[in-house]
Amino acid sequence: MITHQMKNMKLNELDKNLRWFLIIFIIVLAIGVSVGLVYINLTTHMSPEQTYEHIAGSQAGEYEIPDNYPKSLENLLLTTHVHVISFAFIFIIMGALFNFNSILPDRWKLFLMIEPLFAILTTFGSIWGIRYIHPAFSYVTIVSGVLMYLSFYLVAVILIIDLAYKKSK
């Protein structure tokens, strides 16, 4: 009985207070994610070259001080650990809510619920490639990061529209 009720539940049919709570939660989460994007822009200028330099370090002459030092193994482990776990929690919450939206069909819901999880692994796996294998991994980092953030914002907008504006039948 509960499973059947959950399967048929839609966000736009929730209690008004719960809908507004979820809207505010999604907005706060989006602000936090956006601050991360500002940090990425400040440190990499969203370019493959600067992404590479941020991870692998700057080239400097014998008597010059590099602008960026290569990320240490410990730093890469910490960055990967924190971001993979944090983004996994973000996307499990967003995905669980998104499953109950009344706007998209199930196949699109599933795609937008799963794609960011693969993008997390690709994004944070590729920074290891930048550091230890080849500078071209910066392109993988950028493309997978863009897909991850686009998925996040698309899901957030659809959730807010469903919670705030879509009327239940």
Residue 6 is assigned to a structural domain of this protein: no
Q: Is the pLDDT of residue 148 over 80?
A: yes
Residue 74 is assigned to a structural domain of this protein: yes
Q: Is the pLDDT of residue 47 over 80?
A: yes
Residue 9 is assigned to a structural domain of this protein: no
Residue 10 is assigned to a structural domain of this protein: no
Residue 30 is assigned to a structural domain of this protein: yes
Task: For residues 103 and 87, give the distance between their C-alpha atoms in angstroms, rounded to a whole number.
Answer: 24
Q: Is the pLDDT of residue 65 over 80?
A: no
Residue 5 is assigned to a structural domain of this protein: no
Q: Indicate the DSSP class of residue 41.
A: H
Average pLDDT on 26-51 reads 96
Which whole-number Å values give the CA distances from 166 to 11, 103, 163, in the listed order?
Answer: 9, 9, 7
Domain span at residue 138? 15-57+68-164
Tokens 């966000």 identify what position?
Answer: 11
pLDDT at 8: 79
Number of domains in the chain: 1
Contact 75, 127 (CB under 8 A): no
Residue 3 is assigned to a structural domain of this protein: no
Residue 156 is assigned to a structural domain of this protein: yes
